[in-house]
Structure 1
Amino acid sequence: MLSQFLFKKIDNAQLVVFRIFYGLLVSAECYGAIATGWVRRTLIEPKFTFSFIGFEWLQPLPGNGMYVYFGIMGTLGILITIGYKYRYSALAFALMWTGVYLMQKTSYNNHYYLLMLLAFIMAFLPAQKDASLDAKLNPKLHSHAMPNWVRWTIILQLFIVYTYASVAKLYGDWLDFSIIELLMKSKSDYFLIGDLLQEKWVHKIVAFFGIFFDLLIVPALLWKPSRKIAFVLAIFFHLFNSIVFQIGIFPYLSLAFTVFFFEPQTIRNLFLKTKKVVVEQTQILPKNRKWILGILGGYFLVQLILPLRHHAFQDDVLWTEEGHRLSWRMMLRSRSGTIRYRVVNKKTDKVTFIDLGDYLTKKQRRRVACYPDFAWQFAQHLKKDYANKGEDVQVFVTNKVKINQGEYYKFIDPKVDLASVPWKHFAHNDWILPSQKE
């Protein structure tokens, strides 16, 4: 019965229109990253780039190479939009975006992770079979149908993202609105709405609307009686996020996802202007269905487990940050800290205090001061830097970290040589001191 449901043929208008939106938006994201200076600030100007641990070999291209890199990705977005060499274009974009995602995390955003997942999903979906150059050049490719599992793959991915985002908000600093107040302080100079965003009643609305929207939006869009109201609320929610938090294309990508919840013929009438499509139903199941079900089952099992992994680590994820990434814990905390690096020559015992400004940008210095993986990686970098000068050194840090509007507490054990300890991906790093907050 499950196979019959998932492999039933349905109208592919939703996927085709989403492909067009997706291609336009990723193209705008890549070209916009060049135009706004994001590429320059994040990938060209820094002397040292913080990649994901284990991917240190993946570094930005020298000189102005990253402008070319993002220019190619933007062009791939256009090719995706028009459906030309779609499989190659979509897969190339997925690989290149993954490269950007892994080579730097100073500007980490959960939405970059979502786009990476979506890029690979889209590369393997039959999104080029209508309203595309591929279908025009090869009429045998043209089709108005797709298997039902395609639509439900997107919907289930969204459901996981929104549900985990909602549940993560059920903690003290969100429920007492203090984190909302902190996030809004930096928006006080916004034209027209700056003062409004400082009001307590606005913080309460944002807090509760955020919880219930994330929890209910997918079911509300699936249920026909509530679909239009949910869509209107989605427009308000995502435009609010776009204006207030300025997070690029992602509010608009989230709105583009809503095409999967409306009737295919409605989508055709609005965007494709084609006549009514009747999809011929056949009961013949594809021979590779077990492979498809196995891959989808394995993928979603990982998606369900990853956001929960922090429960297996010691202490609170808000303090340690271990297990925070890849878990849809969005806009939940603000971290600040102070840090001082002390380099000790093993032979001479000479002590050198590091001026972070000699190595890092302002944004990188903020990350190093309060995120454990950044602090550890910079210690490794210092060890290599001094080794190149012929010195074998130890690296110690003294730092304090504050979460949200709390107090500053000691974060890293000052007696541990960070340059000599390994990073643990799947266990607690013992040199992170226990949280002292009651």
Structure 2
Amino acid sequence: MLNKWFFKHIDNSALVVFRIIFGALCFLESVGAIFTGWIKRTLVEPKFTFNFIGFEWLQPLPGDGMYYYYALMGIFGLLIMVGYKYRLSMICFTLMWSATYLMQKSSYNNHYYLLMLLSAIMVILPANKYASIDAKINPEIKTDAMPQWCRIVIILQLFIVYTYASIAKLYPDWLDATVIETLMRGKKDYVLVGELLQQKWLQYLLAYGGILFDGLIVPLLLYKPTRKYAFGASVIFHIFNSLVFQIGIFPYLSLAFTLFFFPSEVIQKLFLKKKTHYKGGAVIIPKHQNIFLVIFFTYFIIQIGLPLRHHFIAGNVLWTEEGHRLSWRMMLRSKTARTTYWIENKANGKRFKVNLNQYLTKKQVRSASAKPDVIWQFSQRLKKQYKANNMAIGVFVDCQVSVNGKPYQTLINPDIDIANMPWDVFKHSSWLLPVK
């Protein structure tokens, strides 16, 4: 029964159109990073980047290397869009995007993680079977159909993202609109809407609207009577996010997902008028279906499990950030910090203050002042640097953090040498103090 449902063939219009939009957005994201100065600020100006722990070997290319790197990613985006050497282009883009995601955390964004996952998923989807150069060169691959699992995998991934995003908002600072108020303070100067965004009634509307939208949008898109209304809400929601929060391609990528919720006849008539609509419904079970199903369910078990891991780590995730990443915890809090690093010479016990500006960019200073894992990584880097000069040191951190405008509290135990503490991936770090 499961095999018949997964491997039943349906019309592939939604996937074909999505591939074209996806490739175009990959191109825009890549070249946009060049022309907006994102690459310069994030990957060129820093002396080093804060990687995901375990990926320290991934560092930006020297000189203008990262500009060429992103230009090449843009080319792969165009190749994906037109469907030329699709599989190879998709693999190359996925590897390159994943590398840039893992090599820096100063610009961490859940949307970057989503693009990495989607790129990996697109590698295995037969998205070049129609309206592609590949299909024109090799007519034998041309088809109007795809297995139903191709639609299921996109919808299920989207459901996980939105559901966890909604659940994560169910905490006091979001429910009393404190988070939205904090986010909107920086928008006062926006033309026409700056003052409107400061209104408390609107902030409450955005707070509860965000919970309802994230929690209900996928079910409402799946349900035919509410689909059009849900699509209208999606357009308003994502355009608002694009204009107010300026988060690149991702609102438009989110809108592109809605292709998979509408009847394939509608998508075909709107975007692929010359295409024949597939109505066959053939069930074609591949030889290695059991291996496929194991991989499919293993992937989604991991996707469901990762956002839950903070429940098994002591402490408040909003404070310690242990289990925060890869968990769809989007725009949930604002942190400010007053942080001082002290280096202690192990030989004589003397201490001296670290000037962060000598090592870090302004953006990196913000991360190294409030994010525990970045604080630990910077301490390790200082230890390594001084060790190269034959000096054994300890690193002590006086870190006062305010979450969502609340009073400052001590995050790091100032009496513990962070540089000589291990990093526990799935355990609470004892040098992090609890929030009061």
Task: Report the TM-score when normalising by structure 1.
Answer: 0.98
Counterpart Cα distance in 1 of 2:209 and 2:403: 23
Counterpart Cα distance in 1 of 2:50 and 2:57: 11
Please tell me whether the aligned partners of residues 7 and 147 of structure 1 are also in contact (alpha carbons under 8 angstroms): yes
**Which position in structure 2 is the counterpart of 1:322?**
322
Per-residue deviation at 1:276?
4.0
Per-residue deviation at 1:434?
1.1
Per-residue deviation at 1:278?
3.0
Counterpart Cα distance in 2 of 1:108 and 1:389: 32
Q: Deviation per CA, 1:265-298, whole angstroms, max 9, x where unpaired?
A: 2111111122542343334422221111111100
Superposition RMSD in Å: 0.9
Q: Deviation per CA, 1:88-132, whole angstroms, max 9, x where unpaired?
A: 000110000000000000000000000000000001110000000
**Which position in structure 2 is the counterpart of 1:234?**
234
**Which position in structure 2 is the counterpart of 1:21?**
21
Counterpart Cα distance in 2 of 1:426 and 1:126: 36
The correspondence of residues 207-218 of structure 1 with structure 2, limited to 5 A, is 207-218=207-218
Q: Which runs of 5+ in 2 are unaligned?
A: none
**Which position in structure 2 is the counterpart of 1:344?**
344
Please tell me whether the aligned partners of residues 145 and 278 of structure 2 are also in contact (alpha carbons under 8 angstroms): no
Q: Does 1:92 align with 2:92?
A: yes
**Which position in structure 1 is the counterpart of 2:71?**
71
Aligned residues: 436
Please tell me whether the aligned partners of residues 10 and 145 of structure 2 are also in contact (alpha carbons under 8 angstroms): yes
**Which position in structure 2 is the counterpart of 1:394?**
394
**Which position in structure 1 is the counterpart of 2:266?**
266
Counterpart Cα distance in 1 of 2:237 and 2:280: 38
Counterpart Cα distance in 2 of 1:284 and 1:435: 56
SS at 1:352 equivalent: strand
Per-residue deviation at 1:248?
0.3
* Range that drifts further, 166-175 or 267-276: 267-276
Please tell me whether the aligned partners of residues 9 and 283 of structure 2 are also in contact (alpha carbons under 8 angstroms): no
Q: Does 1:165 align with 2:173?
A: no
Q: Does 1:185 align with 2:192?
A: no
Q: Which runs of 5+ in 1 are unaligned?
A: none
Q: Deviation per CA, 1:216-262, whole angstroms, max 9, x where unpaired?
A: 11111111111111111100000000001000000000000110011
The letter of the residue matching 1:293 is: L
The correspondence of residues 364-383 of structure 1 with structure 2, limited to 5 A, is 364-383=364-383
The correspondence of residues 108-119 of structure 1 with structure 2, limited to 5 A, is 108-119=108-119
**Which position in structure 2 is the counterpart of 1:358?**
358
SS at 2:30 equivalent: helix
**Which position in structure 1 is the counterpart of 2:427?**
427
Counterpart Cα distance in 2 of 1:14 and 1:186: 38
* Range that drifts further, 337-346 or 91-100: 337-346
Please tell me whether the aligned partners of residues 265 and 276 of structure 1 are also in contact (alpha carbons under 8 angstroms): no
Q: Deviation per CA, 1:332-384, whole angstroms, max 9, x where unpaired?
A: 00011111111111113232211001001111111111110111011011111
Q: Does 1:142 align with 2:142?
A: yes
Counterpart Cα distance in 2 of 1:239 and 1:245: 10
SS at 2:418 equivalent: coil
Q: Does 1:43 align with 2:47?
A: no
CA 1:304–1:344: 2 relative to 1, 3 Å: same
Please tell me whether the aligned partners of residues 401 and 410 of structure 1 are also in contact (alpha carbons under 8 angstroms): yes
Find runs of 4+ consecutive structure 1 residues off by over 6 angstroms: none
Counterpart Cα distance in 2 of 1:203 and 1:352: 45
Counterpart Cα distance in 1 of 2:265 and 2:279: 11
Counterpart Cα distance in 1 of 2:278 and 2:295: 30
Please tell me whether the aligned partners of residues 241 and 251 of structure 1 are also in contact (alpha carbons under 8 angstroms): yes
Please tell me whether the aligned partners of residues 10 and 145 of structure 1 are also in contact (alpha carbons under 8 angstroms): yes
Please tell me whether the aligned partners of residues 144 and 279 of structure 1 are also in contact (alpha carbons under 8 angstroms): no
Please tell me whether the aligned partners of residues 52 and 105 of structure 1 are also in contact (alpha carbons under 8 angstroms): yes
Counterpart Cα distance in 1 of 2:359 and 2:281: 63
Please tell me whether the aligned partners of residues 161 and 328 of structure 1 are also in contact (alpha carbons under 8 angstroms): yes
**Which position in structure 2 is the counterpart of 1:286?**
286
Counterpart Cα distance in 2 of 1:224 and 1:276: 24
Please tell me whether the aligned partners of residues 13 and 268 of structure 2 are also in contact (alpha carbons under 8 angstroms): yes
SS at 1:419 equivalent: helix
Counterpart Cα distance in 1 of 2:148 and 2:117: 20
SS at 1:394 equivalent: strand
CA 1:145–1:409: 2 relative to 1, 3 Å: same
The share of aligned pairs that are identical, in percent, is 57
SS at 2:337 equivalent: strand
Counterpart Cα distance in 2 of 1:55 and 1:283: 43
Please tell me whether the aligned partners of residues 395 and 417 of structure 2 are also in contact (alpha carbons under 8 angstroms): yes
Please tell me whether the aligned partners of residues 29 and 248 of structure 1 are also in contact (alpha carbons under 8 angstroms): yes
Counterpart Cα distance in 2 of 1:149 and 1:387: 54
**Which position in structure 2 is the counterpart of 1:249?**
249
Counterpart Cα distance in 2 of 1:384 and 1:218: 48
**Which position in structure 2 is the counterpart of 1:310?**
310
Counterpart Cα distance in 1 of 2:305 and 2:349: 46
Please tell me whether the aligned partners of residues 401 and 411 of structure 1 are also in contact (alpha carbons under 8 angstroms): yes
* Range that drifts further, 19-28 or 47-56: 47-56
